[in-house]
A and B are shown apart, each in its own frame.
Chain A
Amino acid sequence: MNRILRLFGLDDDPSASPSTTRREALRQTGQGLAGLALSAVPLALGAARPARSRAAGIPMGIEVHGVLNFALLLEYLEDEYYQMGLDTGGLIPDAARPVFAQISSHERAHVEFLRSAVSSLGETPIEKPTFDFTAGGAFAPFTNYDQFLALSQGFEDTGVRAYKGQAPNLYSQDGSTNTVLTAALQIHSVEARHAAEVRRLRRMAGVDVHEWIVGDDVDVAALQPVYAGEANTTHLGTDATGVTNKNREQTTEAFDEPLAREDVEAIASLFIQS
């Protein structure tokens, strides 16, 4: 059987016809409830196309509220970080305050949005942990603006990778309205805007960095885990360097990579007081 046609649901097997999309399959299982509430049910995949779903790597038993609480942890971290930065007199130059005020307002909104989303699923939002943005004394972000910027870049790029990694876990149960998935994507691109702007501020301050991620480059050694795997050039089984005349560096820049939840949590845990 032609594999690409099967993958696209275009072969002659009626069980994989275009009308039997995953959305349809999920509807046909009769598990559809309304709106957010149904997403609280652990993602049990429709029986119509189990083989493809497994092959495509949807983990079983992922709970949407758990993913949202994971995101909430990162948003708590970012929200407090920027609030503390803005509240620290003399840290952020006046010229950069509009940028950080905007970022801060977004992170605060994300916290509120995620808390409300988790609650609407009938679950309890996690409490904000006690953060230590010095990571046990390794950083001094509130007395050193360069470090404030560097950590900010690390947090934003980590956020981008975290949301990207979790998106496939957020397909809603009945598929009719993927409210949660779409909202997560809408936060994801805001984090990417933040990351680019912070990188740009650093560039303007003389740091050798671009607004996008080049390979797995990192100018601050402590942030290396944030960029692990970013040099990947193979997507959907296609090595992108082999299908374009752009070079490897440019090809890596064109794709941001997801980061697994445990890797994100390992990064975040450095900033949580134990």
Chain B
Amino acid sequence: MPDTPLPDANTPSASSSPPSNGRRRFLQVAGAATAILAAGCDSDSGMDAPDAVILDFSSDVGVLNYAYALEQLEAAFYITVVDNFYASASDDERRVLTALRDHEVVHRDFFRAALGGNAIADLEVDFSAIDFDSRSAVLSAARTFEDLGVSAYNGAGQLLDDPSFLTVAGKIVSVEARHAAVIRDLINPMSADFAGDDVVDGMGLDVANAPGTVLSAAASFVATPIEMRNL
């Protein structure tokens, strides 16, 4: 099926609207709490916390930015893993974790480009709770991120108005599900855990989570405050 072109602010057709203007305009249209936004966007405010990121679910751009936020988180996680493999990492684990890093980086880069001037800022991550020298800690965190990503895309599909966005989300979520299965198999090989009863219910359905649930679960790994609007 042909993809519907998604022009971004970096393409000539949109060049009349610089990225910064596009983002500001989006945020204005998105509406609520312009004052908070203005404060949040003031990088000279001297606050320690990073500027807040707004996810406005009243339009598809907010949903796509939500996905972009999760991909940023996953990419940052695997980059850290691969830059400092735990000592016992097998060749197979290195192959898997390196590939997962590459896939998440592609997802992150794709969303950034597709969103263009409407993309949220780079998130600051906080992995201080993860012991990257520990195999079990790394694989456990990976399982959390992958299962969470799957549940996020499954829950967000119905929030997308444009079917071409739904299709691209589908192209990505099945790769996340593949990741989840592999990581789970590394943790408990040749068992039922790759699609365990903790994530697949009696009707054979995987988890679907609403954005609030997902972002709560991810919150401890993200230093940047994320505000959700219009859910």
Interface residues of A (CB under 8 A from B): 2-5, 7-10, 17-19, 21-23, 52, 55-58, 95-96, 98-99, 101-103, 105-110, 112-113, 160, 163-165, 167-168, 171, 178, 181-183, 185-197, 200-201, 210-212, 234-238, 240, 243-246, 250-251, 253-258, 260
CB distance from A38 to the nearest CB of B (A): 15
17 contacts between A and B (CB under 8 A): A4-B22, A7-B162, A56-B164, A95-B190, A96-B190, A102-B195, A185-B154, A185-B157, A189-B154, A192-B181, A196-B177, A196-B182, A200-B194, A236-B3, A236-B114, A240-B110, A254-B104
Known A-B contacts: A102-B196, A196-B181, A237-B7. Give 12 more (CB < 8 A).
A18-B58, A178-B158, A185-B206, A189-B153, A191-B174, A192-B175, A200-B194, A236-B4, A237-B6, A244-B106, A253-B175, A256-B174
Type the 1/0 row for B1-33, where 1 means its CB is closer than 8 Å to any CB of A.
111111111000110110000100110011100
Nearest chain B residue, comparing its CB with the CB of A244: B109
- Residues of A near B14 (CB, < 8 A) are 2-4
Secondary structure type dominating chain B contacts? helix
The count of chain B contact residues (Cβ–Cβ below 8 Å) is 82
B83-111 CB contact bits vs A (8 Å, 1 = yes)?
A: 00000000000001001001111110110
| Consensus secondary structure, chain A interface | helix
Residues of chain B within 8 A of A194, CB atoms compared: 181, 194-195
Residues in A neighbouring B171, C-beta threshold 8 A: 164, 235, 255-258
- In the assembled complex, B203 has its CB within 8 A of some CB on chain A: yes
Q: How far is the CA of A19 from the CA of B205 in the complex (A)?
A: 31
Is A255 in contact with B1, judged by CB distance below 8 angstroms? no
A254 contacts B22, C-beta separation under 8 Å: no
A192 and B30 CA atoms in complex are apart in Å by: 35
Q: How far is the CB of B104 from chain A (nearest CB, A)?
A: 8
Q: Is the CB of B170 within 8 A of A258?
A: yes
Q: State the CA gap A101–B191 with chains docked (Å).
A: 10
B190 touches A98 (CB 8 A): yes
Query: Known contacts being A167-B167, A193-B178, is A10 close to B3, with CB within 8 Å?
Result: no
A181-B158, A190-B206 known; A4+B9 contact, CB < 8 A: yes
For B196, the chain A residues whose CB sits under 8 A away are 102
Given contact pairs A185-B157, A211-B181, A7 touches B109 in the complex (Cβ within 8 A): no
CA distance A188 to B99 in the complex (A): 22
Q: Closest 9 CB pairs between A and B?
A: A237-B5, A109-B204, A178-B158, A168-B163, A236-B6, A192-B177, A22-B161, A243-B113, A244-B109
B182 CB contacts on chain A under 8 angstroms: 196-197, 200, 211
Do the beta carbons of B106 and A23 come within 8 Å of each other?
no
Candidates A4, A165, A188, A250; contact of B102 at CB < 8 Å: A250
Tell me if B192 and A250 are in contact (CB < 8 A).
Answer: no
The answer to whether A243 touches B178, judged by C-beta atoms less than 8 angstroms apart, is no
User: Do A237 and B103 touch (CB < 8 A)?
Assistant: no
Complex CA–CA separation, A99 to B118 (angstroms) = 43
Contact pattern, B 31-63, Cβ under 8 Å of A = 1, otherwise 0: 100000000000000000000000010111100
Partner of B166, one of A96, A167, A191: A167
Asked whether B177 lies within 8 Å of A193 as measured between CB atoms, the reply is yes
B154 proximity list for chain A (CB < 8 A): 182, 185-186, 189
Q: How far is the CA of A178 from the CA of B155 in the complex (A)?
A: 10
Pick the most buried of B3, B29, B96, B181: most chain A CB atoms within 10 A of its CB. Answer: B181
Q: Are B161 and A23 closer than 8 Å at their CB atoms?
A: yes
Select the residue from B5, B16, B112, B207 with max chain A CB neighbours within 10 A: B5
Chain B's closest residue to A232 (CB) is B3
Residues of B within 8 A of A160 (CB): 174
Task: Tell me, yes or no, whether B180 is within 8 Å of chain A by CB.
Answer: yes
B185 within 8 Å of A (CB atoms): yes
Query: Would you call B26 and A10 a contact (CB within 8 A)?
Result: yes
